[in-house]
Amino acid sequence: MTTTAQPGEVLDVYIPYKPRPLQRELGALVRTHRFGVVVCHRRFGKTVFGVNMNQQTAMQCAKERPRCAYIAPTYTQGKTTVWDYMQHYARPLPGIAFNQSELRVDYPNGGQNRIFGADNPDSLRGMYLDRATLDEYGLHPAKTFSEVIGPTLVDRGGSALFLGTPNGKNQFYDIAQHAKLAQAKGTKDWFYAEYKASDTGLLDTAYLEAARAVMTSDEYAQEFECSFEASVKGAIYAKELEAARHETRITDVPMDPLLKVDTDWDLGIGDAMCVWFSQTVKGSGQVRLIDYYEASGEGFPHFVQVLREKRYTYGTHWAPHDIAVRELGSGKSRLEVAAQLGLKFSVTPRLSSAAGQELEDGIHCARLFFPRCWFDQTRCRLGLEALGQYRRDYNTRLDEFKATPVHDAASHGADAFRGLAVRHQIPKDKPVYTPAGPGSPHGWMA
């Protein structure tokens, strides 16, 4: 590193940091983008990398009195895991000073590099930052960056680097999706980088095999293969979603004006009602999931308006079999209520008359269906989250997962997708049951 000890004096100083080739490539991205998200496997070396990126900014930033912050999930973690690194890589610099009580390095140019804990975000209020490195960002309080750290970067156009290993669908997942989308659109401020153990080659085979032996497949996929889906314990479609991302089938999917849009519904009562919008390419069998919508506490009039506003040319609207059940109060089925509003449904065929078996067969059907699907990463974001969060509950007493999936907010989008899969997998010679009801079973406001 080239630095100055006194005004006009230039010194070459050896810093004992030899970045690996991947870290060198990553460093180039950090220096050319204002914001970056790095999802990496355990033992990648992200802490050492983050410390040195901060130090470079503190020493080389052209602004007066540069300020950098390394923000660990807790102050204690920062003191335990980061402080030794920070001193080690700064010690060779002339004129350096360490403030042990504040975990701060003072550089001869007036720059500072300091450790903070996300468990005390108020300690960052009122200051400015030229660079913030947020380590294990998924373990930070959800609004720490937006409410506290982000404003510290505004005045001087500071940068932020988000580091971590997946640990659930939280703010780290959200910022990773944002960075991916921004990078795909060519936004110059953002980059996204992902480093799986199977790709980097940094960890030897014996180490990884030993880790596999003591971890569940989901735990291993989370810690070493950077899977956000596997980090949801018991996630049903984790492998399928991971494959879709790996094969870039979760991307920008344009709507083809020459193809009609079919819809597949899950009908909640007091819960969320949701709709998948898809286009099927004849011949290839490719199914494009171009849109998704859900809302709670809304009836068919609201959804009719939503469908109109989207201005798609609709094909068939599919709903589960319980749409034909007559309600005790009105004596009408929801099939009839929807038809009176001009929304005419076909009923998704059933795989079995046994409820439990039908559910399991449907899940199996959905897994087989996934490879045919392409998902729009923006318009289907909530639907993809529902698929990722759809899971089996864990029985701690028996130390096993329960057979029945958890019924929560994620199950609505997953159930609608299961119906979509079932109707695509049913053999063409199998009759499709459509209950008696007013109007044609097909079309949109025919």
User: What is the 3 state secondary structure string of 67-132?
Assistant: EEEEEECCHHHHHHHCHHHHHHHHCCCCCCEEECCCCEEECCCCCEEEEEECCCHHHHCCCCCCEE
Q: Are residues 102 and 200 in the same domain?
A: yes
The model carries a pTM of 0.61
pLDDT interval class at 446 (50, 70, 90): very low
Q: How many angstroms separate the Cα of 10 from the Cα of each of 65, 95, 106, 135, 154?
A: 18, 13, 18, 33, 31
Rounded to an integer, what distance in angstroms lies between the CA atom of residue 161 and that of residue 157?
A: 14
**How much is the pLDDT for 329?**
60
Whether residues 203 and 161 share a domain: the answer is: yes
First and final CA of the chain: distance in angstroms? 72
Chain-wide mean pLDDT for the chain? 87
Q: Taking the C-alpha atoms of 307, 310, 315 and 316 in order, what is their torsion angle to the nearest 10 degrees? A: -30
In this structure, the answer to whether residues 221 and 318 fall within a common structural domain is: no
- DSSP 8-class letter at 391: B
pLDDT level of residue 207 (50, 70, 90 thresholds): very high
Q: For 406-439, write each residue's pLDDT tens digit.
A: 887 788 999 999 999 999 986 544 444 333 333 3
For the residues 284-288, what does the mean pLDDT come to?
A: 93
Whether the per-residue pLDDT at 400 is higher than 80: the answer is no
Q: Residue 231: its pLDDT value, please? A: 66
Q: Which residue has the tokens 């910022």?
A: 175
Say which CATH number the domain at 327 has: 3.30.420.280
Would residue 441 count as lying in a domain? no
The domain of 274 spans 253-425
Residue-level pLDDT at 384: 92
What domain count does the chain have?
A: 2
- Mapped onto helix, strand or coil, the DSSP state of residue 196 is coil
| 432 in any annotated domain | no
Q: How large a percentage of the chain has pLDDT more than 90?
A: 64
Task: Name the band, by pLDDT with cuts 50, 70 and 90, for residue 136.
Answer: very high
Who has greater pLDDT, 185 or 143?
185
Residue 240 domain flag: no
| Bridge pairing between strands 272-280 and 287-296 | antiparallel
Whether residue 300 contacts residue 334, with contact meaning beta carbons closer than 8 Å, is answered with yes
Residue 242 lies in a domain: no
Judged by phi (left if over 0) then psi (alpha if -120 to 50, else beta), residue 311 lies in left
pLDDT at 368: 95
Q: How far apart are the C-alpha atoms of 319 and 347, rounded to whole Å? A: 5
Quick one: pLDDT at residue 330? 65
Q: Does 431 map to a domain?
A: no
Banded model confidence at residue 144, pLDDT cuts 50, 70, 90 = confident
The rounded percent of the chain whose pLDDT value lies above 70 is 88
